[in-house]
Amino acid sequence: MKLALQWPRTLASRLWLVFLVGLILAQALTFAAQYYERYESTKTAMLGNFEHDTATSIAILDRLPADERLAWTKRLQRRNYDYLLREHDPGIPLTSNDLAATAAQSLQVALGSNYDLTFVEIPGPRQHFQAQVRLADGSPVTIDVRPSVRPLSPWLPFVLVGQLLLMIGCTWLAVRIAIRPLSRLAEAVENLDPNAHPVPLDETGPREVANAARAFNSMQARIAAYLKERMQLLAAISHDLQTPITRMKLRAEFMDDSVEKDKLGNDLNEIEHLVREGVAYARSVHGATETSCRISLDSFLDSLVCDYQDTGREVSLRGQNGAIIETRPHALRRILVSLVDNALKYAGTAEVEISGNASTGVSISVLDRGPGIPEEILAEVVKPFYRVESSRNRSSGGTGLGLAIAQQLTVAIGGALSLRNRDGGGLCVTLDFGGDQ
């Protein structure tokens, strides 16, 4: 089974990986170079001292009386070697080409011209050899050597761990500083709402961050201006069309009764309805300009449902939560009226259901038992002029602006509109938004 290494998916993870691995490799190379330099320096210093010290020690022992030599061996003893007043231990010939061989060569240089040396290697887990010399009176002296070099101080590992922690902290800080502007920009793009007042990004900081913020703010202003211009154009055209339509309807009234007159009247009514829907859609972009106020949601929905019931429509209300929310009531009413009218149009009945609370978020659902909407086009029906019905009959297919107006006003009040088909048939349109108690 092969393990495939994958490149991290997020920019933060990639920067973290590159910075941390790069710093660790650089630290490792620095440590390796320092370790090697200290090892060589320590070995050179040890061998130099070793030559001088052993030559001096053997000369002292050679000049001392035999009964005083034992006491002096304690004084001449060092961390890596000491002096034994006896023959060497059993061993094997010294043939290794390592630190022990180098130390033996140093002994040969220091003592070889005055004494005969015999070297043996003592097998074991660490390097260990003995060199035997004979003093002037024939007494044997064995130099017991355990060569070792310590290029690292005991405190150095703790320093290295501290440096590693410092590198991790600096890497985290660097990645955070580099990613924070991108996160703010992504959040601003995600929350970009042409219907609401633009919230400019902070243009302070490094030059690249400030340039990106200025570019986003400029783009946001251009989008808002472009949409405002389009909506104004749509509203102006729709408004100006109402006057000639009214004149045409008045002229049609003076025509003799005929089938053509009725057809002309129906066509003018359809055009007038479409124009009014266009004006309503254009005005819905200004829903965010309505002043917010606190309302009792239960009373608001009860009033809306009672208005329908007074006209003989089958609309019911289910659920209560006692929430006092802050919202734009006219925009909220237009949303619910559009949803209820749509349910009555296709199902003949509608049910308004409320759930949730003001602190966790309120949900208002409008349910019907109509034909529903195919799953593949649920996301398309909130687009302007999109109609589920393929016919051009306005009485059955509508103008395609009802749900688009509701969607735009929902965004304006800071909510979210979702559609789903009900089990057993019908449609459920849910308006989710938050509020304060």
Residuewise pLDDT in 10s, the chain (437 residues)? 455 567 777 777 778 888 888 888 888 888 888 777 777 777 776 676 777 888 888 888 888 888 888 888 888 888 878 888 888 888 887 776 667 777 777 777 777 777 888 788 888 777 788 888 888 888 888 888 887 766 667 777 788 788 888 888 888 888 888 778 877 877 777 777 665 666 777 777 778 778 888 888 888 888 777 777 776 776 677 777 777 878 887 887 778 777 887 788 777 777 776 676 666 666 555 555 567 788 888 888 899 999 889 888 999 998 887 778 888 888 888 888 889 988 898 888 999 998 876 566 788 899 998 888 888 888 777 776 666 654 333 444 455 667 777 887 887 777 888 888 988 888 999 988 764 43
Pairing of strands 129-134, 293-296: unpaired
The answer to whether 352 and 346 have CB atoms below 8 angstroms apart is: no
The amino acid at 122:
I
AA letter at 188? A
From CA 413, how far away is CA 45, in angstroms rounded? 81
Number of Cβ within a 10 Å radius of residue 99: 16
pLDDT value at residue 394: 43
Q: What pTM value is reported for the model?
A: 0.47
CB atoms within 10 A of CB 368: 24
Q: From CA 53, how far away is CA 226, in angstroms rounded? A: 92
Angle, nearest 10°, between helix axes 297-310 and 329-347?
40
Query: Rounded to 5 degrees, what are φ and ψ at 11?
Result: -65, -40
Structure tokens at 135: 């003093």
- Round to whole Å and give the CA distance between 220 and 154: 61
Q: How many CB atoms lie within 10 A of CB 429?
A: 25
Q: How many CB atoms lie within 10 A of CB 427?
A: 23
Q: What is the 3-state secondary structure (H, E, C) of 378-425?
A: CCCCCCCCCCCCCCCCHHHHCCCCHHHHHHHHHHHCCCEEEEEECCCC
Burial 151-174 (b: 16+ CB within 10 A, else e): eeeeeeeeeeeeeeeebeeebeee
What span, in angstroms and rounded, lies between the C-alpha atoms of 268 and 253? Answer: 12
Nearest to 276 by CA among 301, 302, 307, 245: 245
Q: What's the half-sphere exposure (Cβ side, CA atoms, 13 Å) at 311?
A: 10
Domains defined along the chain, listed by start:
11-145 (3.30.450.300), 192-285 (1.10.287.130), 289-433 (3.30.565.10)
CA distance 239 to 233: 10
Q: Are 211 and 178 in contact (CB under 8 A)?
A: no
Q: Could you tell me if 147 and 103 are in contact, meaning their C-beta atoms sit under 8 angstroms apart?
A: yes
Best CA proximity match to 425, nearest among 335, 362, 345, 347:
347
